[in-house]
Amino acid sequence: MKTQKLKKFFEDFAIEVFLIKQVGVQCAELNTYTAGGVNMIVWLNPFTVEEFRDWVRDFDVDEQIDIHRQDKRYCDAFSISNSVEDFTEYHARMKQILKNLEDLEEGYQIFTVKTDFIFSGNFKVKARDVNEAIKIVENDCGLVLGGDIHSSLSEETVKWEFDMHPEKKIKISKTKLNMEIKALQLVTFEQAKKLRNLGFNWYKQLHGKYEIKTGNKCSVSWHESDNGIWEYTIPAPTVALVLKWFRDVKELFGEIIMGAYNECTGKYLTMVWNIEGDCIREIDVNEYYETFEQAESALVDELLIIAEKEKWTN
Question: Which among 198, 180, 179, 182 is positioned nearest to 190, based on CA atoms?
Answer: 198
pLDDT in the model for residue 286: 46
CB 209 within 8 A of CB 184: no
Tell me the per-residue pLDDT of 177-226, one tens digit each, with 9 for 90 and over.
Answer: 334 444 567 888 889 889 888 888 876 555 667 766 555 555 555 444 44
Q: How far is Cα 216 from Cα 184, in angstroms, rounded to an integer?
A: 25
Does 77 score more than 90 pLDDT? no
How far apart are the C-alpha atoms of 263 and 195, rounded to whole Å? Answer: 34
Of residues 65 and 262, more confidently modeled: 65
Highest mean pLDDT out of 8-12, 92-96, 161-165, 285-289: 92-96
Contacts of 131 (CB under 8 A, 6+ apart): none
Q: Within 10 Å of residue 34's Cβ, how many Cβ atoms?
A: 21
The pLDDT of residue 224 is: 43
Q: Considering the entire predicted model, what is its pTM?
A: 0.43
Residue 165 scores a pLDDT above 60: yes
Domains of the chain, by residue range, sit at 3-110, 113-174, 181-313
| Mean per-residue pLDDT of the chain | 77
* pLDDT given at position 276: 62
Grade residue 258 by pLDDT with cuts at 50, 70 and 90.
Answer: low
Give kind and range of the element (H or E) at residue 210: strand 207-212
CA nearest 74: which of 118, 34, 119? 34
